Structure 1
Amino acid sequence: MTVRARLRQWRRRVQVAFLRLTGLSRVAEENYLLLAAIGVGILAGLGSAAFMYSLRGVHHLFFDSLAGRLGALGPSAVVLLPALGGLIVGPLIARFAPEARGHGVPEVMTAVATRGGRIQGRVAVVKTAASAISIGSGGSAGQEGPMVQIGASLASALGHRLGIPAERMRTFVACGAAGGLAAVFNAPIGGAIFALEVITGELTPAFGAVILSSISATVVSRSLFGNYPSFVVPRYDVVSDVEMLFYALLGLLAGLAATGFIRTLYALEERFDRWELPAWSKPALGGLMVGIVGRFAPDIFGTGSETIQGATWGTLGPAWLLALLVPLKIVSTSLTLASGGSGGVFGPSMYIGAVLGGAFGWLVHLVFPTVTAGSGAYALVGIGAVVGGTALAPLTAIILLFEMTDDYRIILPSMLATVVAIVVTRRLVGESIYTLKLRQQNIAYYAGQELERVHAFTVEQAMRKNLPAVAPSTSVLSALSVAVQARAPALPVVDAEHRVIGVVSMDQLSAAAVAEKRPASLDAIMTRASEANILVSDRLVTALTRLSESDSDALVVVRSETDAMPVGVVSRRDVMRIYERVLRRR
């Protein structure tokens, strides 16, 4: 027996002994998954701490120590800092973990969709180092993307060691993603909802495991950093009912900003991919461009948390200056990530929403001071709206805003603005900032879950009702005329007692009508009832299987095996219409 085989055997014995000791050997597999999810959350919380401490250390190294050594360049020294960070990050990612480039969440989703959730363990280490250097040296990116990918890779590694089944790995990876996000923002509910909305795409089956992981990660994070909201903000209220109109308008602007962010990021990614330069050198080039922007607008460096805080307090202005920061942040973040740097898009989305909302609020309060709150309230609502618009995740945006600010009174306008922003983004882009990359790679990420929902449909929901029936002695031309007038894909063929004896489709009628030797009646061309009947209560997948096995393009629907009276017709096109409708629904 090899050493590896002995280790696997030993690990299995330890698992069995632990389960027997705790009495968990008698419980269901779901409870074992819940226990493992707690372990994932603890790992994600520790990973979050490692990343945060690394980020602080790198930022001090670049902006305090290194910037001081470049003092001869004066204020222009900051131009070189992101480029120097890129020179370190580029080779690091290219050599050890190419998956660590970019904003992380699409890479996690790709692993779930194409590799059964398998993420190399080294991704967590490389992502921690690369993101800390990218952001700490001045790159414009957020903390959540790295932590989602770090948490997911730790969960994947632990899941494979524990022998988590492949069908459960999607949930397990979502547990790691939830723990990572929850630990960064001190938001256990928001982290869980993000993982369910974005990573798994559904809210119910995995909720227990994901919420436990999110809670345990938050406990670890709070024990290390304290229990404080991400942003301390004043208490805001809706001043008047008229103000809801302004919040709806802000949602429209937020949707446009989210659309601009998504399109700019992917346009620059395509541009950098086309440049024939070594992959390791591109982050340095992107960093240099970011440094040039930051030379004149230093607020765009890093996560921009201080700017977000200032906007929510209404201490930043005037409006034109805040509005100018919107395109500058979009461009700088896109340059950082498109060039191959490492970081997230969640934080920049919050930044964009804060300054956009602050600028808009500054203007409306100037014009309508008696019916509107201060600009800080609009900055808060703008955060949720742009986050919701970029991620197409309304629950995540709304709940995270509440948890990060510990203020629920602004939730109503936030809900309105977020929904409007999502509608705008769906209309203009059709994909979130995460799923667009998967769509470009022809990965239908949510297709498997949607197909499961399609399978729940019954034949009754797809069939066509109240269609005329014909007798087997009817001529081909007469039946064709009846089908055309009724716009029917097929007609039931019935006997004298109106019981189904077969079905004849439009294709069969059309072919027979132009045949050299036209059949005298339908009896010669119809598909017999033994092959063409299906029950009204049968599942749609059963109809599709029957159609694939039949020579006909349609089936006659009957109520039961003993009741042969026709109640409708379901065609291949009717079935596929339901499939397409559900798969297009996001």
Structure 2
Amino acid sequence: MKNIENKNIDDRIEAARKKIVLSLRLFFARKTKQCLNHQPFSEPVTLAGIAIIVGVASAAGVWLFKQMFSLPFRTVFGGFNIPVELLHHNWIVILLPVLGGISVGLIAQFIIGKERYPGISGVMEAAALNGGRLECRKMPVKTVASALSIGSGASVGHGDPSVQIGATLGSMSGQLMRLSDERVRSLAAAGVAAGIAASFNAPIAGLFFALEIIIGKLNVNAFGIVALASVISSAVTQAISGNQPAFQIPAYELNSLYELPFYLGLGLLAGPCAAFYVYLHHFTRAMFDKWHIPRWIKPGIAGLAVGISGFFLPQIFGTGYVTIEDILNGKSFSVSLLLFLVFAKLALTPVCIGSGFYGGVFTPALFSGAALGGAYGLVIQQFFPFLDISPPAFAMVGMAAVLAGTIHAPITSFILLFEMVHDYRIILPLMFAVNASLFLSWHLQKDSVYTLGLTRRGIRLKQGRDIDILDTITVGEVMVTDVVPLQESDSLETTIDLFIRTRNSGLPVVNNTDELIGILTAQDIDRASNEENKAVSTVGEFCTRDLLLAYPDETIAEALQRIEIRNIGQLPVVSRNNPNRLVGLLRDTDIGRAYDLALTRRKKIRYYPPAS
């Protein structure tokens, strides 16, 4: 009886809570709608006010997050400035990431639950498919899990969690006000910019990150509030933490233009490293997904790998900020040590995130780029002593080069490096390396670390954010299969009558063994109409034999590009294994049907997301 009474009390409390939340949402929505609709000038003013709130809240949230992970890290590892020699071969460092991994795994399994797209990929999906609407309830717990991951030494970064904090605050503001999809998406992007600005003290980089990664284009309507939120967030961060760049480094100088080809060489090395890093992220996630063991054990296994690696290379623990700064300040590192750090970070970060640790890929990419550039600079310095090479300069450029190849956002990489080091004299080497890295990385791995997981689930984003819905439908789903082809020996005059009766604009042509040899179109019939003996002419004499083909497993978008090459109305669909075997016909009317199907599927993904 007592249990029933307690349940009734709990139900009443929950009902009262929901009523209060609903009342608050209605109140804020009503007030916001009044401000947005009553006066023409009130909309930008109101949105600007919300952007300011998002900027302040994001800065405070990111600052609190940094305190959360720095506290356990100081407790565990003695502080960010601890000499790594004290950690080297210290057996306790093997155990600590394991305990952290198990703790994070328990939080993930019993509180957070399964997520389809962790991190920034989830923000991108929400911006493309769900009007920027993010699930806000789990963000505090995910922030704690991220802080615990970094604090226990997992090889993850703080940039992505900071972005999620800002994006969630921006999205939540729009949802509370019941704003339109476009406004909520813009506010989520404003939160993303504010998160980057607070995390790296880089407001301009935050602005371009939101435009390149989340919005995907220079949206005039969103630009103002995104820029405002980023600037406000940076101002609050500087008021709390000071106006220092992310890394304190000596001044850089380009001593000779003869150095530029070597920076190009650095970009050619950074591109494959970035592509490998992207591939490993999704390989390790698939690998851990296939392991049929309790979810909370998986981060513990990854923590063991981190602990064993950190036993020999303690620099890989956590974000690695101290090591990055040491490399940039020219601290003595051997080439072999730097190369070990490159590949250890590139491998361990995907292992940590794939197993279930919470954290980002942003800062580890900077770490790997700094180590790669530092090692490369030392080699060049040894072989070309007369050029007065500065290895820290190559380390700076390497950071941006690997980052650009990883996230496919060159402008963000340019600006972020400038703002972090406060040195704009590095522009020429930076352009050489970043462009070379991005070119190679894109050709080796066309998707970025954020979009590859979405692409493999059928969500292909154009310009990074705006979904191309025709990329979600294959030719085999809409092609016509009950096609009766023409025989090459058929009379042309009889075929003309058939075209008139059936109103076809083209039909495939096969030989006596049913192999596809061509297609007869209305243009071919027009060409044949000038022939005097067309009554005795055959289809095989006038059909087009230089064919453009489609395949059942390719997307409608790919087939449409082929159709537009010759402005034709249909494509024969053939088997991949046997291009002479006709399996269907794709017509322009089928493409219109594919568009309707894709719109329906897009709505289904939005409201009923597929399981992970």
TM-score between both structures, scaled by the size of structure 1: 0.75
Asked if the contact 2:32/2:46 (under 8 Å) is kept, the reply is: no
Give 2:416's aligned residue.
Answer: 400
Give 2:3's aligned residue.
Answer: none
Hey, what's the Cα distance between the residues in 2 that align with 1:156 and 1:167?
11
Deviations 1:115-138 (A, max 9, x none): 332222223202210111001100
Asked if the contact 1:89/1:133 (under 8 Å) is kept, the reply is: yes
* Cα drift, residue 241 of structure 1: 1.5
Q: Tell me, which stretches of 5 or more residues in structure 2 are unaligned?
A: 1-15, 470-490, 497-504, 507-518, 529-533, 538-559, 571-586, 596-612
Alignment equivalent of 1:507, drawn from 521, 527, 533 = 521
Deviations 1:416-465 (A, max 9, x none): 1001000000000111111111111111233774769xxxxxxxxxxxxx
Asked if the contact 2:128/2:466 (under 8 Å) is kept, the reply is: no
Hey, what's the Cα distance between the residues in 2 that align with 1:137 and 1:61?
10
Deviations 1:320-340 (A, max 9, x none): 211121111112212211101
Hey, what's the Cα distance between the residues in 2 that align with 1:162 and 1:5?
11
Give 1:533's aligned residue.
Answer: none
Give 1:239's aligned residue.
Answer: 255
Hey, what's the Cα distance between the residues in 2 that align with 1:443 and 1:211?
28
Give 1:115's aligned residue.
Answer: 130
* Cα drift, residue 141 of structure 1: 0.8
Answering whether residue 336 of structure 2 is matched by residue 320 of structure 1, we say yes
Distance 1:115 1:315, change over 3 A: same
How is 1:253-402 mapped onto 2 (pairs within 5 angstroms)? Answer: 253-402=269-418
Give 1:7's aligned residue.
Answer: 24
* Cα drift, residue 94 of structure 1: 2.2
Asked if the contact 1:153/1:176 (under 8 Å) is kept, the reply is: yes
Hey, what's the Cα distance between the residues in 1 that align with 2:225 and 2:535?
64
Hey, what's the Cα distance between the residues in 2 that align with 1:24 and 1:305?
50
Hey, what's the Cα distance between the residues in 1 that align with 2:253 and 2:423?
10
Q: What code does the residue aligned with 1:339 have?
A: S
Distance 1:441 1:368, change over 3 A: same
Alignment equivalent of 1:166, drawn from 181, 187, 206 = 181
Answering whether residue 219 of structure 2 is matched by residue 204 of structure 1, we say yes
Hey, what's the Cα distance between the residues in 2 that align with 1:238 and 1:382?
15
Distance 1:451 1:325, change over 3 A: closer
Hey, what's the Cα distance between the residues in 2 that align with 1:190 and 1:269?
29
* Cα drift, residue 163 of structure 1: 1.7
Answering whether residue 111 of structure 2 is matched by residue 89 of structure 1, we say no
* Cα drift, residue 401 of structure 1: 0.2
Alignment equivalent of 2:49, drawn from 32, 35, 38 = 35
Asked if the contact 2:29/2:176 (under 8 Å) is kept, the reply is: no
* Cα drift, residue 384 of structure 1: 0.6
Hey, what's the Cα distance between the residues in 2 that align with 1:167 and 1:276?
41
Alignment equivalent of 1:44, drawn from 58, 74, 80 = 58
Give 1:419's aligned residue.
Answer: 435
Asked if the contact 2:174/2:187 (under 8 Å) is kept, the reply is: yes
Distance 1:508 1:102, change over 3 A: closer
Give 2:77's aligned residue.
Answer: 63
Distance 1:213 1:100, change over 3 A: farther
Answering whether residue 266 of structure 2 is matched by residue 250 of structure 1, we say yes
Hey, what's the Cα distance between the residues in 2 that align with 1:207 and 1:372?
43
Give 1:443's aligned residue.
Answer: 459
Give 1:141's aligned residue.
Answer: 156
Asked if the contact 1:142/1:302 (under 8 Å) is kept, the reply is: yes
Hey, what's the Cα distance between the residues in 2 that align with 1:3 and 1:183?
32
Distance 1:253 1:192, change over 3 A: same
Asked if the contact 2:245/2:422 (under 8 Å) is kept, the reply is: yes
Deviations 1:479-502 (A, max 9, x none): 99xxxxxxxx99xxxxxxxxxxxx
* Cα drift, residue 113 of structure 1: 2.9
Give 2:67's aligned residue.
Answer: 53
Q: What code does the residue aligned with 1:7 have?
A: L
Distance 1:506 1:316, change over 3 A: farther
Where 1:75 maps in the other structure, the secondary structure is: coil
Distance 1:511 1:338, change over 3 A: farther
Deviations 1:7-63 (A, max 9, x none): 34433454467x49xx98441634433332221111111110110110111212333
- Aligned residue-pair number: 479
Distance 1:103 1:187, change over 3 A: farther
Asked if the contact 1:33/1:209 (under 8 Å) is kept, the reply is: yes
Hey, what's the Cα distance between the residues in 2 that align with 1:303 and 1:315?
18
Q: Which moved more, 1:405-414 or 1:196-205?
A: 196-205
Distance 1:118 1:9, change over 3 A: closer
Hey, what's the Cα distance between the residues in 2 that align with 1:134 and 1:120?
21
Asked if the contact 1:187/1:404 (under 8 Å) is kept, the reply is: yes
* Cα drift, residue 232 of structure 1: 1.2
Deviations 1:59-84 (A, max 9, x none): 1233349x9xxx9x981110011111
Give 2:599's aligned residue.
Answer: none
Distance 1:5 1:312, change over 3 A: closer
Alignment equivalent of 1:220, drawn from 236, 252, 259 = 236
Hey, what's the Cα distance between the residues in 2 that align with 1:366 and 1:336?
36
Asked if the contact 1:93/1:101 (under 8 Å) is kept, the reply is: no
Hey, what's the Cα distance between the residues in 2 that align with 1:12 and 1:281?
44
Deviations 1:391-438 (A, max 9, x none): 110000000000000000112111110010000000001111111111
Hey, what's the Cα distance between the residues in 2 that align with 1:407 and 1:510?
65
Q: What code does the residue aligned with 2:146 have?
A: S
Where 1:370 maps in the other structure, the secondary structure is: helix
Identical-pair percentage? 38
Deviations 1:241-294 (A, max 9, x none): 111100000000000111121122221111111100111221111111111111
Hey, what's the Cα distance between the residues in 2 that align with 1:102 and 1:476?
57
Q: What code does the residue aligned with 1:92 have?
A: I
Hey, what's the Cα distance between the residues in 2 that align with 1:134 and 1:102?
18
Hey, what's the Cα distance between the residues in 1 that align with 2:183 and 2:206?
19
* Cα drift, residue 112 of structure 1: 2.4
Hey, what's the Cα distance between the residues in 2 that align with 1:149 and 1:106?
10
Alignment equivalent of 1:156, drawn from 165, 171, 182 = 171
Q: What code does the residue aligned with 1:247 have?
A: Y
Asked if the contact 1:99/1:107 (under 8 Å) is kept, the reply is: no
* Cα drift, residue 372 of structure 1: 4.5
Where 1:230 maps in the other structure, the secondary structure is: coil
TM-score between both structures, scaled by the size of structure 2: 0.72
Deviations 1:197-220 (A, max 9, x none): 011111233221111111111112
Where 1:163 maps in the other structure, the secondary structure is: coil
Q: What code does the residue aligned with 1:42 have?
A: V
